Structure 1
Amino acid sequence: MRQVLVGEGGDGQRLDNFLLRLLKGVPKTHVYRLIRSGEVRVNKGRAGADTRLAAGDTVRVPPVRVAAPSATAAPPREFAAVHEDEHLLAIDKPAGVAVHGGSGVSFGVIEQLRRARPEARFLELVHRLDKETSGLLLLAKKRSALKHLQDQFRARGTEKLYAALVFGDWPAQRKVIDLPLLKGTDAQGERHVRVVGAGHEAAQRSISIVQVVRRVGGCTLLDVRIATGRTHQIRVHLAHAGCPIVGDPKYGDFARNKAFARDRGFERMFLHARRLAFDHPASGDRVVLEAPLPADCAALLDALAQDR
């Protein structure tokens, strides 16, 4: 058993992120299991994965076996930058790339960027996108910027807008989805989220605001704003409403996904974080960023529009 003193670099960091960096080579699922079991302690007390650490805290870490360094270490990689300054970096993340390693993924955006920027003294994810989702991803280059931006996300001071193509004819009058979500696991032990009744004590209120942009080829292109940032929120809300996102491998229409892959060569999920607005952590100015639809998504819309 070892006691780890939290330094200035860990001030304000979530416990799970602190441990994932400390215990490199330990599977992410095992790290979360250690937290849930109470084997990890902060200042001698139990703590949750989302506990915020402060400089000077003491974290008790049980002995764990760290895997040998993988031959598939993260290769250095830069991603298309939408905005960058001394405080933050915003990139246009491609679909199919995880934001970080863990749960069967050797490495993700953050590991590749750190390898590409060995001189960077600090680089952390401000928020997350699903591996299958493309679009705007924000990273902090200073601890102060990370805390400021994460506070905005928690206080709902940011604006997040997603483009989603769904199967079916979305009713134009349905503009607000206010349904609680419950996180769990499926039969394979993978994370799975579902809609539950409002009285469920473990559920989280989740609000998505939907606007029809275009109807094309038996599908509907939507703009979705999220008033709450729950895990898989948009995917679960839209699927529960009977209009799953095209290409969604977890909550989607698997037969139609397979047909789209076979007949149209479209093998990804059509969910794209296209707009992000927030207050700059240093200047306080409102920053509005846009990421256009990826070429494969735009091409699919054009192909569907030509169907008769």
Structure 2
Amino acid sequence: MNRPPRRPPLAPKPKASDTPVVLTEAEVAFTRSLVIHEDDSVFVLNKPAGLSSQGGRIQAHTLDDLLWALARRDRPRPRLIHRLDRDTSGVILTARTKPAATFLGKALMGKRFRKTYLAIVTPGAPDPRGGQIDAPLRRESIGREAYMRVCEEGHPDAETARSRYKTLAAGEGAALVELSPDTGRMHQLRVHMASIGRPIAGDSRYGGALMLGGAPVPRLMLHAASLVFPHPEGGERRISAPIPDDMRAILDKLGLAVPDRQGPERQRPDAR
């Protein structure tokens, strides 16, 4: 089983995000348990659903805060290179040094990262079962909440957005799909799948099913399964995170076959 560790009770969160955060022993152990790859330049973590990457209005420690558990003595904490939505699980990359952060930040901006997600969508397989969604998005605020909407290419607030999808398994009323974003807009995969009539299960914001197989969907059924990125010390790394237990339980209930994927791939910095 690949059951993620239970998140420990949180210590009070200080206001100044740039100062070291005092963490409990349980929080330190929890954070270290998330690491699926480390070397001199990076930590790669398997973020559980329910943990915010950064910021937010909830007065609780974010992953960014918890990274102080991985800081070297008298050194800054590792730096997040990208983020995942609070209810999305899976692979997230951090840099251990400023040069590594600069290198990886430029690589991300240069679209040299390749991200693969797994999602459970309803109702059934997309039609066609695979393809590309090329639909611009715009941001819309409703009260204190931010949404993304598909819009016309000529809209003044339009942002280019492209996603690729492939059906891995399908049954009556649901399907497991592999998703690959070519751009990195907020909520991109969620909005794109909803735009073709196959919203991600558990996504109440964009019309996802909240019940599957006669049981409640515990959260957004979206998992960052793997990340390929250029390494600061040369070559590429591909790091994978196993499907979490809550998502696997839904797939089992639906009778959808889980793809045979390897666990996290740990490679030495000099590996090519």
TM-score tier after normalising by the smaller chain length: 0.7 to 0.9
Unaligned runs of 5+ in 2: 1-13, 257-272
Which deviates more, 196-205 or 167-176? 167-176
TM-score normalised to the size of structure 1? Answer: 0.70
Equivalent residue for 2:196, pick from 241, 245, 267: 241
| Counterpart Cα distance in 2 of 1:108 and 1:297 | 22
For residue 302 of structure 1, report the CA deviation from its aligned partner. 1.0
Residue in structure 1 matched with residue 73 of structure 2 by the alignment:
119
For residue 118 of structure 1, report the CA deviation from its aligned partner. 6.3
Residue in structure 2 matched with residue 281 of structure 1 by the alignment:
232
Equivalent residue for 1:145, pick from 100, 103, 112: 100
For residue 116 of structure 1, report the CA deviation from its aligned partner. 5.7
The answer to whether structure 1 residue 304 and structure 2 residue 259 are counterparts is no
Residue in structure 2 matched with residue 229 of structure 1 by the alignment:
184
Q: Which runs of structure 1 show a deviation greater than 6 angstroms over 4 or more consecutive aligned residues?
A: none
Unaligned runs of 5+ in 1: 1-23, 28-68
Residue 250 of structure 1 aligns to a residue whose secondary structure is helix
For residue 287 of structure 1, report the CA deviation from its aligned partner. 0.5
Aligned residues: 235
More helix by share: 1
> Structure 1 pair 120/224, CA: closer, same or farther in 2 (3 Å)?
farther
Residue in structure 2 matched with residue 175 of structure 1 by the alignment:
131
Q: Does the 8 Å contact 2:161/2:182 carry over to 1?
A: yes
| Counterpart Cα distance in 1 of 2:100 and 2:164 | 28
> What amino acid is the match of 1:138?
L
For residue 265 of structure 1, report the CA deviation from its aligned partner. 4.5
Q: Does the 8 Å contact 2:84/2:92 carry over to 1?
A: yes
| Counterpart Cα distance in 1 of 2:168 and 2:51 | 27
Residue 175 of structure 1 aligns to a residue whose secondary structure is strand
Equivalent residue for 2:41, pick from 81, 87, 91: 87
Residue in structure 2 matched with residue 194 of structure 1 by the alignment:
149
Q: Does the 8 Å contact 1:208/1:234 carry over to 2?
A: yes
- Cα RMSD of the aligned pairs, angstroms, is 2.5
| Counterpart Cα distance in 1 of 2:217 and 2:135 | 30
TM-score normalised to the size of structure 2? Answer: 0.79
| Counterpart Cα distance in 1 of 2:72 and 2:40 | 16
| Counterpart Cα distance in 1 of 2:166 and 2:129 | 9
| Counterpart Cα distance in 1 of 2:45 and 2:246 | 18
Which deviates more, 136-145 or 108-117? 108-117
Structure label with greater radius of gyration: 1
Residue in structure 1 matched with residue 109 of structure 2 by the alignment:
154
Could you say which structure has the greater relative contact order, defined with CA pairs below 8 angstroms and 6 or more residues apart? 2
| Counterpart Cα distance in 2 of 1:119 and 1:102 | 28
For residue 286 of structure 1, report the CA deviation from its aligned partner. 1.1
